[in-house]
Amino acid sequence: MQFTLKGRYLDDVAVREVVAGDAEIGALRERVRGLPEDASYYDRVRLGELVVTALEARRDAESAALLARLDPFAVATVPRTPAQPDEVVDAAFLVERNRQREFEDAVEDIGRDLHGRVRMRLLGPLAPTTS
């Protein structure tokens, strides 16, 4: 059976975590705070670049960890490239019928671990498809 798992960061949770956890981003954010946009244009552009790069790195690491937790329950996993920086996971899983409950339980465990940070949706079981 096929399942699709999608997950996105809630609100600006990941942005707040990145800003709080990266000294360079935090310092640059403080430097541009309260300055007119035209006076801090290049710093704001740099800040945006740093945040997006940090978000993508965080997302890639969390997505890889999430997929690694689910891989043992799937015959095959097909991750899709996230379209937005706030997308944590978008993947299809082919799961043997007799492992469906284990797979769903593992997704529930991950959902509990990410509660308050990531909104996840599990679609399926669906008929397996090829793409």
CA angle 35/37/42 to nearest 5° reads 100
26 or 75: which carries more pLDDT confidence?
75
Say yes or no to pLDDT of 14 above 90.
no
CA separation, residue 43 to residues 17, 26, 28, 38, 78 (Å): 20, 12, 7, 10, 38
Q: Is residue 131 part of a domain?
A: no
The tens digit of pLDDT for each residue in 65-99 reads: 999 999 999 999 999 988 887 899 999 999 999 99
Note the pLDDT of residue 128. 66
pTM of the predicted model over 0.85: no
Q: Which tokens hold the place of 7?
A: 């997950």
Q: Is residue 55 part of a domain?
A: yes
Note the pLDDT of residue 35. 84
CA separation, residue 90 to residues 9, 19, 20, 103 (Å): 12, 25, 26, 16
Domain that holds residue 109: 2-126
Q: Is residue 111 part of a domain?
A: yes
Which among 112, 103, 109, 114 has a CA at the least distance from the CA of 59?
114
Domain count, the chain: 1
